[in-house]
Amino acid sequence: MARGIDVGTMNIVSSRQEGDETVFVGQRNSFVEIEYSDMAKRMLSRSDVLHIRKGDEVYVVGDDALTFANVFNQETRRPMKRGILSNDEQSAIPMIKLIIEQVVGEPEHDGERVFFSTPADPIDSEVSTLYHRKTLESFLQDQGFDPEPINEGMAVIYSELADSNFTGLGISFGAGMTNVCLAYYAVPVMTFSIARGGDWIDEQAARATGTSVDKVTAVKEDEFRLDFTTDAGGVEGALSIYYDNLLDYVIENIRAELDEEDVEEGLDVPVVVTGGTSSPPGFEELFEERLSEGGLPFDVSTVRRAEEPLYSVARGALVASRTEEESDPEDSPSADTDEDTDIEAEADGGRVLEEE
Ligand SMILES: Nc1ncnc2c1ncn2[C@@H]1O[C@H](COP(=O)(O)OP(=O)(O)OP(=O)(O)O)[C@@H](O)[C@H]1O
Ligand SMILES: [Mg+2]
């Protein structure tokens, strides 16, 4: 067996194959610190809430962090920021380690392969992704896995572009980052990231309208659409403006990076967008419109949004992991070589398991 895991700024999602189905397990990449009061003790004893106790304090981690934050009137915090481990969050390491352990589970055998997503170095920020990648690698090794990093944009290609021989442009619009990858026949020819995503949109729209970031995020995730003109002056109007701005910024950077690459002429390139930030209705149409104005050095054949934007990176990591396993079965004691090798067809029947 092989596995995949997508370690994102907002969501951590693992993927594994069970028969014909891909099983996903996810948790919010978030935590809250509360006092270990009698009430907290009672709430914690009621269920299998992920938590770490330190003396009089307790950290509630993952999906339950938000519920505890609301009850105890605290703010949730995040172990990651802008796509990588946060350097201004001292408590980040044990929290994210616990979430990863819970989400990926125990290996079936020692040294089971797991491909984990990692962002490309951002072109618009000084940060390096090396420390982040190496730290995740060591967590997964401690857990008994044999980890291998996979670029987040490349994971999108594996997940969504099997039909075009893993050739095309894949873009993951996440919370902390936007990851871009152009691949020909499964070989990445251009990968980069931009240190802006859904969090950036929320922060800008909140600042512009004097609304709290949490409120803006809630509006964006609930009812917001990009396919009709929204009233100027309100939160939705501000969200539209920053969505527009993010798309222009991403396309401008794609064009600039492509200028530096030797791109074959006369290609028809399929484009796939994914990630939570690509969710609002109208996103793919707006992106297509902006792309057509963008003057790229190739023709775009189609622009499509992944069916399950929150799961496609985890799915792609699993496809990469299983592809390696099948091409090198002796390396993996539990590899079932009799199984149907059409991984994509199997991966399509995905279901979501929400574990508490
Ligand atoms: N229905 C929705 N409409 C708009 N935005 C959404 C929706 N659902 C989730 N999002 C946004 O998508 C983002 C989370 O997406 P995703 O899980 O792909 O990011 P991530 O992988 O955790 O982050 P990153 O890849 O940047 O590290 C958040 O900004 C969230 O607000
Ligand atoms: Mg992501």
- SS percent in the chain: helix, strand, coil, step 5: 40, 25, 35
Which tens digit of pLDDT belongs to each residue from 324-346?
Answer: 888 876 554 443 434 433 333 33
- Residue 208: alpha-carbon gap to chain centroid: 27
CATH label of the domain that carries residue 273: 3.30.420.40
Mutational test site, ligand 1, from 277, 307, 308, 312, max ligand atoms within 8 Å of CB: 277
Residue 300 included in any domain: yes
Domain count, the chain: 1
Which tens digit of pLDDT belongs to each residue from 92-120?
Answer: 899 999 999 999 999 999 999 999 999 99
Question: What pLDDT does residue 352 have?
Answer: 37
Q: In angstroms, rounded to a whole number, what is the distance separating the alpha carbons of residues 276 and 104?
A: 21
Mean pLDDT of 252-268: 82
Q: Residue 187: which H helix or E strand, with range? A: strand 187-194
Distance (Å) from CA 11 to ligand 2 centroid: 8
pTM here?
0.91
Question: What pLDDT does residue 330 have?
Answer: 58
Q: Which residue's alpha carbon is nearest to atom 20 within ligand 1?
A: 8
Which tens digit of pLDDT belongs to each residue from 184-212?
Answer: 999 999 999 999 999 999 999 999 999 99
Question: What pLDDT does residue 215 have?
Answer: 92
- The whole domain housing 300 covers 158-305
More confident site: 84 or 332: 84
Distance (Å) from CA 263 to ligand 2 centroid: 26
Question: What pLDDT does residue 108 have?
Answer: 94
Say which amino acid occupies 162: A
The two beta strands, 168-173 and 268-274, are parallel
Residue 8 included in any domain: no
Binding site membership of 275 for ligand 1 (Cβ less than 6 Å): yes
Residue 352 included in any domain: no
Mean pLDDT of 51-57: 93
Q: Which residue's alpha carbon is nearest to atom 19 within ligand 1?
A: 174
Ligand 1: nearest atom to the Cα of 117 = 25
Question: What pLDDT does residue 329 have?
Answer: 63
DSSP state of 95: H
**pLDDT at 300 > cutoff 80:** yes
| Residue owning tokens 């994971």 | 155
Mean pLDDT of 175-190: 96
Ligand 1: nearest atom to the Cα of 199 = 29
Residue 185 included in any domain: yes
Q: Which residue's alpha carbon is nearest to atom 28 within ligand 1?
A: 175
